[in-house]
A = this chain, B = another copy of it.
């Protein structure tokens, strides 16, 4: 059975069956022309949208449908995290090929709903349509942040230190591993059944863990002068913060927290682990600029955010981004670009 055998109403019923009861602030949820919600009291609203398109952001040959749903929402949660915002709601806009199996539809929604529940995010509505080509998962999220606590890209100053959360390169290595293994037994297993058998890097690619709690703490305790997430890779993120803030940045290659499994993988392929790790997207870690005098606040962020923060460089006067390794300096290589 495919989604073409179901009516729009039946598909919506399947989504509703996979969601928890709506919270009191959701006055009207799924099923009317639009959702109606009470804004969070004394908060600013934070809004973001991200599209996951088959053939661009995922390959159904090796991405189980649950992971597609998980990743599409994770990318959005990561944007909220990068602003220091707490998640509230999501709208799902799905474009479904007529051949998309109804079971995969269930699994996709399950993957998304599981991550939503983990972050107390509620699906308020959405849109379903046919797609004449790729599977399309377009997710809009809304979150809230206290006034003057939003983390922007533009606040870094010369002398600020640059930190990155967790490890980098894992998702890029995981994607390469998936592409390299032509016959994988990965078509369907959801997160709980695969986590024990998958390579850690593959797991990081398929089921990234957006740094929602870390971002929220960084916003509340004013530890960060600038912040963004690594959806398009570390090299891109450093450049974006430097450009938005009107500063230059120096990144120390030796200090980069490259995931050890990823480093081994890149080396086994004859590739440069540093270049692969900084260019690779999909890590969904946070890049954070910190004034030296507020550095001690990072300890609390680390303690409660559940993830390590590693100093990787420093902001300086001027413009441009430099990668320093073995005493030499080179311009930071370009990261992942969508339109090239």
Q: Which residue of B lies closest to A6 (CB)?
A: B339
A residues lining the B interface (CB < 8 Å)? 3-4, 6-8, 11, 27-28, 31-40, 43-51, 53-57, 78-80, 82-83, 85, 89, 91-93, 95-96, 124-134, 136, 138, 140, 142-143, 145, 150, 152-154, 227-229, 244, 337-340
In the A-B complex, the 8 residue pairs with the smallest Cβ-Cβ separation, listed nearest first, are A133-B133, A39-B39, A34-B48, A55-B132, A33-B82, A140-B140, A33-B79, A49-B91
Which of B95, B338, B340 sits near A136, CB closer than 8 Å?
A: B95
| Contact A11–B339 (Cβ < 8 Å) | yes
Taking the full assembly, how many copies of this chain does it contain?
Answer: 2
Which of B133, B145, B227 sits near A132, CB closer than 8 Å?
A: B133
| A–B Cβ pairs within 8 angstroms, 10 of them | A32-B154, A34-B80, A35-B46, A49-B125, A53-B132, A55-B133, A56-B131, A93-B93, A93-B140, A138-B138
Interface-centre pick from A33, A92, A150, A340 (highest chain B CB count, 10 A): A33
- Closest chain-B Cβ to A33's Cβ sits at a distance in Å of 4
Which of B45, B82, B337 sits near A37, CB closer than 8 Å?
A: B45
- With a cutoff of 8 Å between Cβ atoms, the chain B residues found around residue A3 in the complex are 339
- With a cutoff of 8 Å between Cβ atoms, the chain B residues found around residue A96 in the complex are 339
- Closest chain-B Cβ to A29's Cβ sits at a distance in Å of 10
Contacts A7-B340, A34-B46 given; does A54 touch B93 at CB 8 Å: no
| Contact A38–B33 (Cβ < 8 Å) | no
| Contact B140–A91 (Cβ < 8 Å) | yes
| Contact B82–A152 (Cβ < 8 Å) | no
